[in-house]
Amino acid sequence: MRDHAETVAVITGGSQGLGLAIAERLLAEGCGRMILAGRGVAKGEAVAAQLRAGGADVRFLPADMGRPDEAIALIDRAASRFGRVTALVNAAAATDRGSILDTTPEAWDNLMAVNARGPFFALQRFAQLAAQHGHPAQAVNILSMVVHCGQSFLAPYSASKAALANVTRNAAQALRGHRIRVNAINCGWMDTPGEDETQRKYHGATDGWLAAAEAAQPMGMLVKPAHVAGLASFMLSPASGVMTGAVVDFDQNVSGAYPE
């Protein structure tokens, strides 16, 4: 398939996990120009070099999404390199823990900065440039099923993702006249390197935690990045037509359902 032959993409958090899976899917479907962004420079540059082996122009740019100036500069630098940016994926996120009883103002501010404020200003600059140059564009915000509530230890994380869900819908409404589409995916519990790190850091997990977790799931697995990447690619492609403002649950557990 060549659905992304004309796509020029920026993917935050693109050097591992879901961001990387989306990058690989876009490249497989014809995308030839791409920026991966994140804070780990050595890792990001190594991943970009690997992806360039397929012939596409893939570059890594360092960016801290907790800083609006860096989020905005990321889009400007990508547009400067490629002439324009037609696809944005906000996949970078912080996942620090905290409940209503113990979250500090500093932890709240950090999660809101990385998970909501940075993506907002990246999306803003992306939309400004697309509207200025008069070309269609598509964005996908990576959210979480926690937007519906979330575990008690994910209070500020849940709030930050819920904020980005509203940004998705509000931006979609505001930008549709410019042919700029904005959609989002609420991901369920996902099998990623970041989740492995989180389970070990916060929940005392040891080797074998993934197999045990998957055995307890209705479909015998956690959400896989490659599966979500297919939906993200569709949302970013012409195949999704006029679809905008959609926030899609991607999980095996149905929000609002109760035990039978």
Q: Is 106 exposed, middle or buried (0-12, 13-18, 19+ CB in 10 A)?
A: exposed
| Residue 241 and residue 31 in contact, taking contact as beta carbons nearer than 8 Å | no
Q: Single out the residue of 33, 128, 137, 7 nearest to residue 76, CA to CA.
A: 128
Q: What's the residue count for the chain?
A: 260
| Residue 232 and residue 185 in contact, taking contact as beta carbons nearer than 8 Å | yes
| Residue 85 and residue 79 in contact, taking contact as beta carbons nearer than 8 Å | yes
pTM for the whole structure = 0.96
Q: Considering only the top CATH level, what class is 8-188+223-250?
A: alpha beta
Task: List pLDDT tens digits, range 19-51.
Answer: 999 999 999 999 999 999 999 999 999 999 999
What pLDDT was estimated at residue 1?
61
Domain ranges of the chain: 8-188+223-250, 193-221
Q: Single out the residue of 150, 153, 220 nearest to residue 187, CA to CA.
A: 150
3-state class (DSSP) for residue 170: helix
Per-residue pLDDT of the chain (260 residues; tens, 9 = 90+): 679 999 999 999 999 999 999 999 999 999 999 999 999 999 999 999 999 999 999 999 999 999 999 999 999 999 999 999 999 999 999 999 999 999 999 999 999 999 999 999 999 999 999 999 999 999 999 999 999 999 999 999 999 999 999 999 999 999 999 999 999 999 999 999 999 999 999 999 999 999 999 999 999 999 999 999 999 999 999 999 999 999 999 999 999 999 88
